[in-house]
Chain A
Amino acid sequence: MKYVLLICADEAVGAEHAQDGCGGWDTEMAARGVLYGGAGLRPPADATTIRVRDGETLLTDGPFAETREQMGGFCLIDCADLDEAIEIASKHPAATYGSIEVRPLIP
C-alpha cells in the first residue's frame, strides 16, 4: 500500500530543525525498498496559495491555513500495511519533535 507521510511541526520548532536532514532515515528506507521519494519544504512564509473561482485566479500570500503546525516535508512510501507505515514513520527523526500524519493514497 502507498502512503504519504506528512511531516508537520510547530513553525518555530520546524525552522530550528530545517537543516537537520533525516539522520540516515532516508538511506535506510531506500535500502529497504519502501521509500519512493519526498522532500523538505521551504517555510510557509514562502508559500503562495492559488484558487480559481468563476474562472478568476485568486492568489493568497502564505499557506492555505494559518495553523501553528505546518507541513515541513513529505515522503511517499510503499509498504505492506498501516503497521509497517507506522513503524517507518516512527523512525523518522521529525516524529520526536513534530508529528507525522500517515495518509493512504487513493489507489
Chain B
Amino acid sequence: MTRPDASGPARDGSARAAVDAAFRSDWGQIVATLIRVTGDWDLAEEATQDAFAQAIARWPVDGVPRKPGAWLTATARNRAIDRLRRDKVGAAKLQELAREPHQEESAEPPDLLRLMFTCCHPALALDAQVALTLRTLAGLSVPEIARAFLVSEAALAKRLVRAKSKIQHAGIPYRVPPAHLLPERTPAVLAVLYLLFSEGYAATAGDELVRRPLLAEAIRLARLLCALMPDEPEASGLLALMLLTDSRSSARIADGVVVPLEEQDRSRWDAVAIAEGVGILDAALRRGRPGPYQVQAAIAACHATAATAADTDWRQIATLYGTLRELNPSAVVALNQAVAVGMAYGPAAGLALVDRISGLTGYPLLSATRADLLRRLGRRSEAADAYREAISRATTEPERRYLAGRLAEVS
C-alpha cells in the first residue's frame, strides 16, 4: 500500500497534492457510502473528515497509497466503527458495517446518486438542497458555502442542521426514487446543479463576478450525474450547457467589466470545452427527448460555434427560443426570443414581440432591449425615453455607463 522509497521534501508536496486530488474526487463517494451503512449523516461527515486528516498526517510519511480512495474509505469506515463502539445505540449499525462488503457487489444504485437525490428531495427547501449538496457531495466547508451565498456562517450551519434533522426525523428515504417518481424528482437535482453553476458564473452579489470553485464543482457534479444517469438526456443537456457557457469565461471579463457576447475576443474561448459540449449535446439530442437544458445548450452552441459575432445563426436561435418558450413559458425567455428575432428578422419584428410581453414591468433588460430596437429603427426620441428608463433601473455601474453612452448617441 505504501511507497517506502519516497523521501524528501518533494514527497511532502506530492502527498499534499494527492490529498487535495482525493478530496475533490472521493469526498462525496466516501460520505455517501458511510451514510448508507450508518444511516447517520453527521457521523458520515465526521468520519470522512477524520480520514482526510489522517491522510494529511500519514501520506507524507508513509507515502501515498496506491488506491487513495479505497484507503480513505477504509479509514473513514474504521473511524465510524470506533465512534459507534463508544456508543451503545451504535451496536445495530456496527452489525451493518460488518455486513457491508457483501452489499457492494449487489446491483444497488450508486451511493453518490442516492446522495444527490436525497440532498435534493423536494420536501427540503431549495436553499437547504443547495447547502446540503455543496456540503455533502462537494465537501465544501460551512464558511466556504456561506461566503458563496452571502449568508452568515451561523445561518448556514443552522440550515444544514435543520435539513439533516428533517431527513432523519421526517423519514426522507436515502435512495434514488423509484421509476415513477424519477421524472418529477430529476429536475430538482438538475435545478440545484444549474443554480450552483449560475451563482458561480454570474454572482448575484459580492466583489467577484465569477466564482471559480462553484463553477468547477457544478461542472464536476454534472459530469458525475451524467455518468450515473447515462439515459437521461437532460443531464447531458445540462452538462453541455455548462461547458458551452463556461467556455467563454476567460473572454467575458476585461478589467473587471463584463464584455458583451458580441464584443468578446473569440480566440480566447475554450475550444476544447466547446467541442466537448457540442459532442455531448449532439448525443443527447439523438435520443429524441428534448428538454429545456438541451434547448438552452443548443442556443449556447449556436453562439459558441460562430466564428464571428456576425456569423451567429440568429434564425436558428430565434427558433430555439420559440421551442424553449413552449417547454418553459416565461417572460424572460420571451424577451430573449424577441432579441433573437430582432437580430434574425430585423428590429421591427423584435419590437412587435417585446411589446407583447407582459409581467416584466420594471425588469431592467426589458427597457434596454426596447431602447436598442427603437434605436435601430431610427425612432430616436422613443429610444431616448426607453434608455432613460433603462438607466433608472440598471443595477450596476458598468451597465449604467453603457446605457448612458447609447442615450448620448440618440439624443
Contact = CB atoms under 8 A, between A and B. Distances in A.
A97 to B, nearest CB: 21
Interface stretch (A21-29, A30-38, A59-67, A79-87): A79-87
A39 interface: no
B170 A82 contact: yes
B172 A104 contact: no
Contact of A104 (B169, B173, B181): B169
Q: How large is the interface on A (under 10, 10 to 19, 20 to 34, 35 or more residues)?
A: 10 to 19
B123 A104 contact: no
Nearest to A102: B170
A13 interface: no
Chain B at the A interface: SS class: loop
Interface in B165-197: 169-173, 177, 181
Contacts of A3: 171
A81 B169 contact: no
Contacts of A104: 169-171
A76 to B, nearest CB: 15
Interface in A42-69: none
A82 B173 CA distance: 7
Given A83-B177, A83-B181, A1 B123 contact: no
Interface string B311-341: 0000000000000000000000000000000
Interface string A68-94: 000000000000111101100000000
B173 A81 contact: yes
Q: Most chain-B Cβ atoms within 10 A of its Cβ — which of A3, A81, A82, A102?
A: A82
B164 to A, nearest CB: 14
Nearest to B173: A81
Interface string B292-323: 00000000000000000000000000000000
Contacts of B170: 82, 102, 104
A59 to B, nearest CB: 34
A101 B169 CA distance: 15
Interface in B76-129: 121, 123
B58 to A, nearest CB: 39
A86 B171 CA distance: 11
Nearest to A1: B171
Pairs A-B, 9 closest by C-beta atoms: A81-B173, A1-B171, A81-B171, A82-B171, A82-B172, A104-B170, A82-B170, A83-B173, A104-B169
Given A81-B173, A83-B173, 10 more contacts: A1-B171, A80-B171, A82-B121, A82-B171, A82-B172, A83-B177, A83-B181, A85-B171, A86-B123, A102-B170
Interface of B: 121, 123, 169-173, 177, 181
23 contacts: A1-B171, A3-B171, A80-B171, A80-B173, A81-B171, A81-B172, A81-B173, A82-B121, A82-B123, A82-B170, A82-B171, A82-B172, A82-B173, A83-B172, A83-B173, A83-B177, A83-B181, A85-B171, A86-B123, A102-B170, A104-B169, A104-B170, A104-B171
